[in-house]
Structure 1
Amino acid sequence: MARPLLHDYFRSSAAYRVRILLNLKGIEYDRHSVNLAEGAQKDPAYRALNPQGFVPMLEIDGLKLTQSLSIAVYLDQTRPDPLLMPRDPADGAHVRSLALTVACDIHPLNNLRVLKYLSGTLDATQDQSDAWYGHWVTEGLAALEALAAPRAGAFLFGDSPTLADVMLVPQLYNARRFAVPIAPFPSLRRADESASALPAFAAAHPDMIAQQDMVK
């Protein structure tokens, strides 16, 4: 069977999540870079594979999987070592709520296509776009801190990584890129530090991927 193929962009936080997932699961894979900055996601050949034109898309087990959370669930169900969602229903609901806070409440308001729409179609200045980004990310991270803190340990939930940490690390990477202060969020910073020290997270970092792409 062919190796899994990840359609990826090094700075996409959603694709970053899937790189982490694949690494945590010990899945070797190939990458196809889809340069979002240059509009490669609009290429008809890619749209034929993925009508949304988004990344990530993971070709695995004869399937073409889209949406990072859907990919995460599939991988956890088919390759449950290590398990990233607690088996206990209440714990699982808590971890999902943390993950969804990032994936559904923070990220969609601040991804590349939204920022391009602000600066392009709506003619927002850079300062206005940065203010938009900073407002929604700060509001979302504050909520995430409040949700996570009571049950956080070294990671967002307890002392081992879960899907919540897979969502968190790319979001904090982006927050730092846009100079959003994260000092007010100690539980998030602690989880980010713990996760980023793991090889599976470190190898998925955009800087590592950019270096690999330069070598090719």
Structure 2
Amino acid sequence: MTELQEPGSELLGQQHPSLPVVRVGEATLPTTSGTFRAVAYRQADGVEHLALLTGEVGDGHDVLVRMHSECMTGDVLGSLRCDCGPQLHAALDAISAEGRGIVLYLRGQEGRGIGLAEKIAAYALQEQGRDTVEANLDLGLPVDARDYTGAVAVLRDLGVRDVELMTHNPVKVEALQAHGVPVVRRRDLPVAPTSDNLRYLRTKRDRMGHRLPGVG
């Protein structure tokens, strides 16, 4: 775990006006990682998110949180081109073991926000030698188009006041703190390098500032 300082003045990424969310459903969800309380939300623009909770948020302080961007190829199909699936399951295991925490599954963020079809088009360029940053730019797309205002609204609705964030990505830390949710600590997730994703992980580390000490 890494202690974090107070948020700095420099913010990575464009911030947008807050999107309200509506809680639309809640149920018990037994999984291979444990049994969670699943709370479904819908943004005003129709995008849906799912919060998976274990334990009680209580006073809202120091809540273990993972903000996980939807990845059909990694989470559902088991793609080895990214480490998204292993990160999701590691996060679920971690909060289940901790007995208190939230995995927030964020829809509409496929391919760092560019969408599924565009992600496959970017994969094709990567097969021709481009890295994940270059491929997006070649397609006229942003390197990272994700927005976390909906995620912040969900955390606030659940009573979260500050978090221990499971992430390798400094932009997620910056985004939460810019929206008034302090990140008191950051926790590494296990890294799962393979021959298929090693270049991708190195690009995230070297070009996007991700903390990936397990990547050679």
Same fold? TM cut 0.5: no
Higher strand proportion (structure 1 or 2):
2
Q: TM-score with structure 2 length normalisation?
A: 0.35
Q: TM-score, normalised by structure 1?
A: 0.35
Higher helix share: 1
